[in-house]
């Protein structure tokens, strides 16, 4: 899923400092799963904003709404007739949400309340880690099912580098060296031969480096 | 001869090679390089010029290499994968060769988190092994990665080096990694500085068993300890470093004013030992910011005069 | 036991403090409360095993929120006691009330509560 985290309250309060009435819009997709921007989190943020402005003697009216998703125009349409009522709209979706809302309501001031961090999954309840870099050409089967592009700090295809120590990456003891894991896994599977050949240089043009990407499915277009 | 460099000639002639190291200044002050060069002249066969080592911005390795040449020394230029993409890399290899550089080390590069610009974007378009392949292709096939061919005699013909770390994990994989670099086309490797001699002997035994010492020249890294503080720092903060307790204790046992002397003695002893280990083709002395002590180390270790081949 | 505790303490009963959520604590302040405390079972004795542990984490979260809003984190608190400890319950009620009296009235003017 897309994993995101709410921005610090000070940053969000600064966004709405000149407003009297705002709408906080949540999303039932990824951000609900990672407890960042679902219905619950919308309620919490709305309450915090009200309390903060209460304290300053400058009340802020905060309405709450959660959409199915904010990455399909059909769901954004549900804001029709409402968007104009607010000084500002705060999206609690990943950064895609505010872009969609902004696009449909060009006169509205739309703000992101989350920082979209990475593509990843949960390790345990309350802990998420990065697993994918959306490089556009998945080859994890060549690495024992692990992704060196996303999980190696240097995206090495022929790792590990000389900084791997005690199974940890040189940048932090909290970061596993994925190449250590790859080597161990392939050793366990008796498939070390997968690492003897030199992995060829990556074609990064399928990644962000090639420019903003788009997928067109002719079989699905109406 | 692949490049015709002095280092290549010394190693190919079967002589025990000695390389040194020079870190360029964190400024445009060329004299600092010239000053360091004076200590190393005649003491070593060639000198590494680091490339923004530990991600700290310094004068470029190419510039440092050229200044060394002007001073009559042979540089080992370094190129890390952190800061340049394949376009810049191939371009710099051709440029360096055009300006007389003949030895090039291909390295991954420490993550920028360690340096003075941790907010920088990193590149890592290629990894070090792919870079070795690229430099080899430029030399032996006269081709860029795009397939574009250069006329005969116009190609950059580098003597290709790399770094190996016998002490990084997983240990069992380290010799395979050397084998991989050899398969990619490396001509010589320099190890990370060694303090754990038993572990290094184990590594060399594995390398020799696989015949790797015959396919590539292995130079052992030696860094003399300046002080107990340095020993502790290396042990704790430098990625991939293995400093056994008995080494730290030996430095600790000396009076503070004698610690440097003990460090030098230990380095000289190590070099003597390295001469006897099968498969070791030479030593790489990294006396960072202590270049003035290299002459006495080289002399005491019986490595003078340097061979003229 | 007919023990006395301050009338300013309004009780909301829940089957387990694990049921208490962050929003309940925040809404209490929105509705004009000067302080909120969560009274749960002794740690290790929760009938639902970890309900009271989760409640404590949520109380800590709200403490941080109060801090970030420039208010005293002690306005929200977690207490643990056994259901049989009537006197302890009353004691805590008095203790917390005294603490809040010392901190003074809530800095949140309760506009939301007044508007409602």
Q: Which helix (H) or strand (E) holds A102?
A: helix A96-104
CA distance B88 to B123: 11
pLDDT surpasses 70 at A121? yes
Q: Do A8 and C68 touch (CB under 8 A)?
A: yes
Write down the ipTM of this complex. 0.91
Alpha-carbon gap, residue B125 to C65, rounded angstroms: 43
pLDDT at A137 over 90: yes
Say whether C109 and A57 touch across the interface (CB within 8 A). Answer: yes
Please tell me the pTM assigned to this model: 0.91
**In C, which residues are within 8 Å of A54 by CB distance?**
30, 107-112
Q: Which pLDDT band holds residue C111 (cuts at 50, 70, 90)?
A: low
Sequence-distant (≥ 6) Cβ neighbours of residue B220 within 8 angstroms: B191, B194, B200, B270, B274, B277, B280, B282, B283, B284
Residue-range domain boundaries for chain A: 2-117, 134-199
Residues of A in contact with C107 (CB under 8 A): 54-55
Q: Which letter, b or e, does each residue of A26-57 get, where b requires 16 or more Cβ atoms within 10 Å of its Cβ?
A: bbbbbbbebbbbbeebbbbbbbbbbbbbbbee
Render each residue's pLDDT in chain B as its tens digit; 309 residues: 999 999 999 999 999 999 999 999 999 999 999 999 999 999 999 999 999 999 999 999 999 999 999 999 999 999 999 999 999 999 999 999 999 999 999 999 999 998 999 999 999 999 999 999 999 999 999 999 999 999 999 999 999 999 998 887 777 788 888 999 999 999 999 999 999 999 999 999 999 999 999 999 999 999 999 989 888 888 888 767 889 998 899 998 988 888 899 999 999 999 999 999 999 999 999 998 899 999 999 999 999 999 998
pLDDT tens column, A61-98? 999 999 999 999 999 999 999 999 999 999 999 999 99
Pairing of strands B280-285, C36-40: unpaired
Q: pLDDT tens-digit profile of C43-65? A: 999 999 999 999 999 999 999 99
Domain at B6-226+268-300: CATH architecture = Alpha-Beta Barrel (3.20)
A170 touches chain B (CB under 8 A): yes
Please tell me which of the candidates A9, A40, A54 has its beta carbon nearest to residue C68. A9
| pLDDT reading at C5 higher than 90 | no
Instruction: Report CB contact under 8 Å: A158, B128.
Output: yes
Please name the residue of chain B whose CA is at the shortest distance from the CA of residue A168. Answer: B169
- Partners of chain A (3+ Cβ pairs below 8 A): B, C
Contact A162 B82 (CB under 8 A): no
Q: In the prediction, which pLDDT does B240 show?
A: 72
Query: pLDDT > 90: what percent of chain A?
Result: 96
pLDDT of A165 above 90: no
Cross-chain CB nearest to A158 (options B125, B129, B134): B129
- Using an 8 Å CB-CB cutoff, list chain B residues near A200: 130
Q: How much is the average pLDDT of A159-167?
A: 87
Taking CB atoms and an 8 Å limit, are A55 and C22 in contact across chains?
no
Q: Is the peptide bond before A160 cis (omega within 30 degrees of 0)?
A: yes
CA A135 to chain centroid, in Å, comes to: 15
User: The domain A2-117 belongs to what CATH superfamily?
Assistant: Response regulator (3.40.50.2300)
Contact B169 A156 (CB under 8 A): no
State the best of C19, C30, C32, C75 to mutate against chain A, taking most chain A CBs within 10 Å: C30
Q: Is there a contact between B108 and A204 if contact means CB atoms under 8 Å apart?
A: no
Of B129, B133, B239, Cβ closest to residue A163: B239
Q: What are the distances in angstroms from CA A17 to CA A98, B108, B309, C58?
A: 19, 47, 76, 28
Average pLDDT, chain A: 96
Q: Quote the CA–CA distance of B73 and B76 in Å, as a whole number.
A: 10
| Confidence band for C112, pLDDT divided at 50, 70 and 90 | low
Taking an 8 Å cut-off on Cβ atoms, the answer to whether C65 and A48 are in contact is yes
């Amino acid at each position: 899923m897309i994993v995101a985290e709410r921005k610090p309250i000070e940053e969000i309060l600064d966004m709405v400092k000149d407003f009297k009435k705002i709408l906080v819009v949540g999303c039932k997709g990824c951000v609900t799963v990672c407890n960042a921007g679902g219905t619950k989190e919308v309620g919490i943020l709305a309450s915090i904003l009200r309390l903060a402005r209460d304290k300053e003697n400058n009340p802020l009216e905060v309405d709450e709404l959660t959409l199915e998703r904010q990455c399909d125009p059909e769901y954004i349409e549900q804001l029709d007739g409402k968007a104009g009522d607010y000084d500002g709209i705060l999206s609690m979706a990943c950064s895609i949400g505010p872009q969609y809302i902004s696009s449909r309501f060009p006169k509205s001031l739309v703000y992101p309340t989350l920082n979209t961090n990475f593509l990843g999954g949960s390790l345990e309840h309350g802990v998420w880690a990065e697993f994918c870099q959306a490089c556009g050409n998945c080859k994890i089967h060549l690495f024992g099912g692990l992704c060196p592009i996303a999980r190696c700090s240097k995206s090495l295809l022929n790792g590990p580098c000389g900084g791997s120590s005690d199974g940890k990456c040189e940048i932090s003891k909290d970061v596993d060296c994925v190449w250590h894991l790859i080597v161990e896994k392939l050793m366990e599977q008796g498939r070390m031969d997968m690492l003897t050949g030199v992995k060829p240089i990556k074609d990064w043009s399928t990644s962000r480096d090639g420019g903003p990407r788009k997928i067109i499915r002719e079989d699905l277009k109406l | 001869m692949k490049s015709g460099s002095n280092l290549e000639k010394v190693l190919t002639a079967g002589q025990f090679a000695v390389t040194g190291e020079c870190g360029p200044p964190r400024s445009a002050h060329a004299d600092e390089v010239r000053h360091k060069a004076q200590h190393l002249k005649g003491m070593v066969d060639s000198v590494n010029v680091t490339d923004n080592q530990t991600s700290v911005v310094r004068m470029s390795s190419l510039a440092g290499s050229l200044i060394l040449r002007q001073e009559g020394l042979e540089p080992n230029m370094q190129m890390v994968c952190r800061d340049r993409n394949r376009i810049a890399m191939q371009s710099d290899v051709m440029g360096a060769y055009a300006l007389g550089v003949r030895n090039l080390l291909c390295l991954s590069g420490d993550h920028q988190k360690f340096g003075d610009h941790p907010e920088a974007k990193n590149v890592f378009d290629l990894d070090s092994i792919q870079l070795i392949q690229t430099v080899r292709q430029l030399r032996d096939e006269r081709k860029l990665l795009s397939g574009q061919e250069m006329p005969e005699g116009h190609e950059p013909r580098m003597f290709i080096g790399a770094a190996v770390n016998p002490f990084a994990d997983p240990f069992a994989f380290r010799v395979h990694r050397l084998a991989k670099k050899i398969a990619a086309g490396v001509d010589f490797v320099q190890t990370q500085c060694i303090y754990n001699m038993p572990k290094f002997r184990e590594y060399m035994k594995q390398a020799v068993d696989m015949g790797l010492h015959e396919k590539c020249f292995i130079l052992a890294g030696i860094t003399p300890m300046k002080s107990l503080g340095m020993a502790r720092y290396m042990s704790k903060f430098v990625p991939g470093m293995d400093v056994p307790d008995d080494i730290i204790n030996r430095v600790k046992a000396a009076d503070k004013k004698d610690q440097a002397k003990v460090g030098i003695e230990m380095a000289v002893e190590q070099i003597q030992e390295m001469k006897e280990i099968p498969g070791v083709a030479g030593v790489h002395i990294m006396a960072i910011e202590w270049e003035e002590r290299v002459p006495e180390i080289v002399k005491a270790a019986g490595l003078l005069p340097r061979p003229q081949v | 036991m007919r023990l006395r505790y301050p009338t300013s303490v309004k009780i909301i009963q829940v089957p387990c403090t694990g049921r208490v959520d962050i929003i309940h604590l925040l809404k209490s302040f929105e509705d004009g409360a000067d302080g909120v405390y969560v009274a749960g079972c002794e740690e290790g004795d929760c009938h639902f095993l970890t309900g009271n542990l989760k409640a404590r984490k949520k109380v800590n979260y709200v403490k941080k929120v109060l801090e970030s809003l420039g208010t005293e984190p002690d306005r929200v608190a977690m207490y643990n006691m056994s259901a049989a400890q009537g006197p302890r319950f009353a004691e805590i009620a008095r203790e917390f009330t005294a603490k809040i009296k010392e901190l003074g009235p809530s800095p949140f003017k309760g506009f939301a509560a007044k508007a409602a």
